[in-house]
Amino acid sequence: MAQAKIRLYLDHPLAAGQPLLLSQAQAHYLFAVMRLAAGAQVLAFNGRQGEWLAEVVQVSKRGGTLRALAQTAPQRAPPDLWLMFAPIKKARTDFIVEKAAELGAARILPVQTDFTNAERIRQDRLQAHAIEAAEQCGGTFVPEVADLAPLARSLDGWNPARQILWADESRLGAAATLAGLAAGPWAVLIGPEGGFSAPERIRLGALPFVTPVSLGPRILRADTAAVAALTLWQASLGDWR
Ligand code: SAH
């Protein structure tokens, strides 16, 4: 069986014959780690123009060049689902971003809630995780990871056309169902280890575009809750149907 081709995200226009310049890190990966030589073929995508077969034209330590040959898959966008989550410990936050990209979130928004411990995030690192997840899962879309923003401010400027599915730990044990909810633009909201504060619950409970949801009879860690809520949404209202 032929070996699966390497998939590479390139922030570069893709068209037949188009030369594609590699960054030093990409060149290191392709030529030093994977030992590709001139003529080897890889798959490239830029998040906008589908997936393309490309061949190695020039090998160099500092960079090198590919040439795009032909499109192998059309561009596919995930449903209009955002993930809002309160960042937790580094490895678990990385996990949340990686899984959100795999599960088909269109945008990832870290939010600072009353009980969020993290003061800042490394947006560039998290974005790199989203790119790696897209490369690995066969996707042609890379969700944007936004910078950390206070939840209160995100809610102040919220477009009410986008509904929020609030994973509400106080509904523990209720049926975890999205029955009766309509497809459309949504955002899933997951709290931190400490859950949501009383003022946050009052505010979220009063917003007409917020729907609280249970994630079953057990308290899930925030990283598990993010995966569970995205799965529930995708299966009920998203592109798993
Ligand atoms: N410390 C809190 C739990 C926080 S769990 C407590 O003891 O109540 C972290 C986040 O995951 C929660 O804020 C919520 O968004 C989500 N979550 C975890 N388990 C859940 C459940 N069974 N139902 C709904 N949301 C849940």
Q: Which protein residue has the closest C-alpha to ligand 1 atom 11?
A: 222
pLDDT at 186 > cutoff 90: yes
145's CB contacts (< 8 A; 6+ apart) are 97, 108, 110, 123, 126, 127, 130
Amino acid identity, residue 238? Answer: G
**Ligand 1 mutation pick, 96, 169, 197, max ligand atoms within 8 A of CB:** 169
pLDDT in tens, 40-90: 999 999 999 999 999 999 999 899 999 999 999 999 999 999 999 999 999
CATH no. for 7-73: 2.40.240.20
**How confident is the model over 128-132, as a mean pLDDT?**
97
Query: What class is the 81-237 domain?
Result: alpha beta
> Which residues approach ligand 1 with their CB closer than 6 A?
167-169, 171-172, 190-191, 193-196, 214-216, 218-220, 222, 225
CA distance 177 to 233: 9
Given this model, what pLDDT does residue 3 score?
66
Q: How far is the CA of 107 from the centre of ligand 1 (A)?
A: 21
Residue 42 tokens, joined: 């890889």
Q: Ligand 1 atom closest to Cα of 173?
A: 22
Predicted pLDDT at 117: 83
Give phi and psi for 199, each to the nearest 5.
Answer: -60, -40
Q: Which of 188, 219, 224 to mutate to test the pocket of ligand 1 (most atoms within 8 A of CB)?
A: 219
Q: Share the mean pLDDT of the chain.
A: 96
pTM attached to this predicted model: 0.94
CA distance 89 to 111: 14
Domain parsing of the chain, residue ranges: 7-73, 81-237
Q: What is the pLDDT of residues 207-239, one digit of tens each?
A: 999 999 999 999 999 999 999 999 999 999 999
Determine the Cα angle at 235 with ends 50 and 48, to 5°: 15
